[in-house]
C-alpha cells in the first residue's frame, strides 16, 4: 500500500517513518508539511492511505479531506484526542495519538490490510469478452473503449494504468481482479505488474534468466518473467 505522510513537524514524520519501516506492506511515497502541498501530491501520487496530522498551519487535516474527491484511506495521527469523534464522522480508518506506540500502529496496519483484502474480494468478477465495450474514468475524463483496443494493463499499487490509443488513464482497480475477468487466450499475465494483449504483440525476444521481452505495437516494452515465459510457450506453441 502506498502511504503519504502529512505533518507540519519534520521530527514527527521521521518518527512515523521509522515505525512504518517495520511493515513491508507499506510503501512511503512522499511527505508533506501542510494541506496545500498534500492536496497536490494526493492528486499526482494517488496514495492508498494518508497518515494525516489534525492540526497544521493553514488548513486542518479535516479541512483537507473535505476538499478531496476519491479519498484514500485516512489515519489521523495527532496529539489531540478531542477530534476523535469528528474524525470517525468523516470515515477515518483510525485515530492515533502521539506519541504513537508500536503496538497501536500494528493494530492500524492490520485494519488497513484487512480492508484492502475485503475490497479486493468485493470487486466485480463478471467475465469480459474481447469485443465488449468498457467504461474507463480517470478524474474528469471518461472513455468508452473496446476491450480489444486495450494493449496493456500496468499495476500501480491499488490502481491500474490502462493503455489504449494515446491514452494512459489510471483506474482504481486491482490487476488480480482484471486477470480473473479477462479472456486468458487474449490477455496474458506477463508479470506481477503487467497484463498484455497478445494480439498487440509486435516482437518477442529471449531475455535474461530465461525470460522474454515483448514489444507491443504501441511501442511499450514489457518483460515476461521466467515462470510466465514457460507458461506462455506452453500455451501458444504448436
Task: Specify the CATH number for the domain of residue 63.
Answer: 3.40.50.2300
Return per-residue pLDDT of the chain as tens, 238 residues: 899 999 999 999 999 999 999 998 899 999 999 999 999 999 888 898 999 999 998 899 988 988 876 678 999 999 888 878 888 777 889 999 999 999 999 999 999 988 776 665 556 667 899 999 999 998 889 999 999 999 999 988 778 999 999 999 999 888 888 988 999 999 999 988 899 999 999 999 998 878 899 999 999 999 998 888 888 988 887 6
Q: What is the pLDDT of residue 119?
A: 63
Strand partners of residue 4: 30, 50
Work out the number of other CB atoms within 10 angstroms of the CB of residue 235: 11
Q: Give yes or no for a contact between 138 and 170, defined as CB atoms under 8 angstroms apart.
A: yes
Tally of domains within the chain: 2
Surface-to-core class of residue 73, CB atoms within 10 Å of its CB (0-12 exposed, 13-18 middle, 19+ buried): buried
What domain range is 191 assigned to? 133-236
Q: Which of 122, 143, 165 is the last residue of a domain?
A: 122
Q: 114 and 171: one domain?
A: no
Q: What is the pLDDT of residue 236?
A: 83
Inside any domain, residue 54: yes
Q: 171 and 111: one domain?
A: no
Q: 99 and 149: one domain?
A: no
Q: 74 and 150: one domain?
A: no
Q: What is the pLDDT of residue 126?
A: 79
Inside any domain, residue 127: no
With a CB cutoff of 8 Å and minimum separation 6, the contacts of 231 are: none
Q: What is the pLDDT of residue 123?
A: 62
Helix then strand count (H, E) for the chain reads 7, 15
Amino acid at each position: 500500500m502506498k502511504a503519504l505522510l502529512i505533518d507540519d513537524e519534520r521530527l514527527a514524520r521521521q518518527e512515523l517513518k521509522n515505525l512504518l519501516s517495520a511493515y513491508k506492506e507499506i510503501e512511503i511515497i512522499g511527505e508533506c508539511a501542510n494541506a496545500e502541498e498534500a492536496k497536490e501530491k494526493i492528486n499526482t501520487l494517488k496514495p492508498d492511505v494518508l497518515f494525516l496530522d489534525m492540526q497544521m498551519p493553514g488548513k486542518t487535516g479535516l479541512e483537507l479531506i473535505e476538499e478531496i474527491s476519491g479519498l484514500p484511506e485516512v489515519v489521523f495521527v495527532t496529539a489531540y484526542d478531542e477530534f476523535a469523534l469528528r474524525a470517525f464522522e468523516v470515515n477515518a480508518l483510525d485515530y492515533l495519538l502521539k506519541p504513537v506506540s508500536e503496538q497501536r500502529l500494528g493494530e492500524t496496519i492490520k485494519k488497513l490490510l484487512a480492508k484492502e483484502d475485503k475490497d479486493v474480494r468485493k470487486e466485480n468478477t463478471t467475465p469480459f469478452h474481447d469485443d465488449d465495450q468498457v467504461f474507463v474514468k480517470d478524474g474528469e475524463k471518461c472513455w468508452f473503449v473496446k476491450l480489444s483496443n486495450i494493449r496493456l494493463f500496468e499495476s500501480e499499487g491499488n490502481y491500474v494504468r490502462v493503455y489504449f490509443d494515446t491514452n494512459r488513464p489510471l483506474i482504481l482497480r486491482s490487476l488480480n481482479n482484471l486477470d480473473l475477468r479477462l479472456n486468458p487466450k487474449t490477455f496474458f499475465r506477463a508479470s506481477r505488474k503487467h497484463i498484455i494483449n497478445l494480439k498487440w504483440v509486435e516482437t518477442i525476444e529471449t531475455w535474461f534468466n530465461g525470460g522474454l521481452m515483448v514489444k507491443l505495437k504501441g511501442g511499450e516494452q514489457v518483460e515476461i518473467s521466467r515462470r510466465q515465459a514457460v507458461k506462455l510457450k506452453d500455451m501458444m506453441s504448436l
